[in-house]
Amino acid sequence: MKSFEFCTSLYNVKRKGLKPTKKASGHPRFETPAGKQAQVDWKEDIKLVSRYGEEFVVNVFNYKLGYSRYCYFEYRKAKTQQDVIECLINAFKATGGVPEEILFDNMKTVVDITNEGRKINNKIKAFANDFGFKIRLCKPRHSYTKGKVESSNKFIDWLLPYNGEFENEEDLIKIIDEINKKVNQSINQSTGIQPIILFQKEKEYLSPLPSNDIIESYMNFEQKATVHKDSTIYYKGSRYSVPPKYINKTVTLKTVENELHVYFNTDLISVHILSDKKINYHESHYRELMENLIKNREDIEQICTNNLNELDKLLHR
């Protein structure tokens, strides 16, 4: 009887064109012990506009420790291989060590596509060897293996409300830092615990960074910057002036001992002593900037001198 019922059921399925429902494949939770793994991706090409109408294309490097979900975010203008390396070094410094392995999305700066398939780039491989971690790649079309990184997409939800509200690049970097703190202090949905709390345990399992000689060999002491409307560029918490004709242009910054050298293409356009002062104007740059605003050229020297003195007093209160 049971055999007859089975055959009848099979006949009905075929006659009616019905197909058995495909069994869904589950995705088990992907957990790692403390210090085992970090995951990396980019929050890329986020367009934001300052309150003054200046457009910024934001790329944020996202590094997350797998056990604690502790994050490190870093603002970058580009997503080059050098950006990835420098961001990783900064992440290692910020978290106090290096995990056993790092899981990468299939970044073009990390993975070379060859006839034999995916291959880890030689420079990245050498970097991993020098810093003592193994490279793992996400499986194509299996985004669940990097879900811990992608779960922090709420970062974008927290960033977008600042569209049209921030002043400049410096302000934008501060906002990203504040969001970073907020993410680490918010209860994680998977663990039910704040990442900052679990991180206190996880950091004990991270390996130390290599020697300074090795670290510095991977750091590029040149970086790009955009000249803002006040004729300054932003570098490590301070602003430095350049001639106003370079406003909105991209310049190259180089540090030489205690000096900041600013280049446009191959031309050296400004030199400053590195300073803790928030704003550093050369008087000639400021005067040239003010000439577009002040019609009476006889007064411009005195006005510029007075303004710079007042600015200096204001910053040193």
Average pLDDT by stretches of 10, the chain with 317 residues? 44 48 52 90 90 90 95 92 94 97 89 82 92 88 49 75 90 93 90 94 96 87 86 89 94 86 93 88 86 66 65 56
Domain 37-211, classified CATH 1.10.10.60, yes or no: no
Task: Supply the pLDDT for residue 188.
Answer: 87
Distance CA 201, CA 218 (A): 29
Task: Supply the pLDDT for residue 128.
Answer: 95
The tokens for 41 are 């991706």
Task: Supply the pLDDT for residue 258.
Answer: 80
Task: Supply the pLDDT for residue 136.
Answer: 92
Phi, psi angles (nearest 5°) of residue 111 = -115, 130
- Residue pair 128/110 in contact (Cβ under 8 Å)? The answer is no
Enumerate helices (H) and strands (E) in the chain, giving the number of each. 10, 14
Distance CA 209, CA 227 (A): 34
User: Could you tell me which of 245, 263, 248, 265 has the C-alpha nearest to residue 56?
Assistant: 248
- Which residue in this structure is represented by tokens 């899981």? 103
Could you tell me where the beta strands, DSSP code E, fall in the chain?
A: 37-49, 55-65, 71-76, 101-104, 111-114, 117-120, 134-137, 222-226, 232-235, 238-241, 250-256, 259-264, 267-273, 279-280
Task: Supply the pLDDT for residue 6.
Answer: 40
- Give the chain's radius of gyration (CA, Å): 27
The torsion region of residue 66 among left (phi > 0), alpha (psi -120 to 50) and beta comes to: alpha
Beta-carbon neighbour count of residue 38 at 10 Å? 30
Following DSSP, what letter does each residue of 238-295 receive, concatenated? EEEE--GGGTT-EEEEEEETTEEEEEETTEEEEEEE--SSSEE--HHHHHHHHHTT-S
Task: Supply the pLDDT for residue 10.
Answer: 43
Per-domain boundaries in the chain: 37-211, 221-315
Task: Supply the pLDDT for residue 301.
Answer: 64
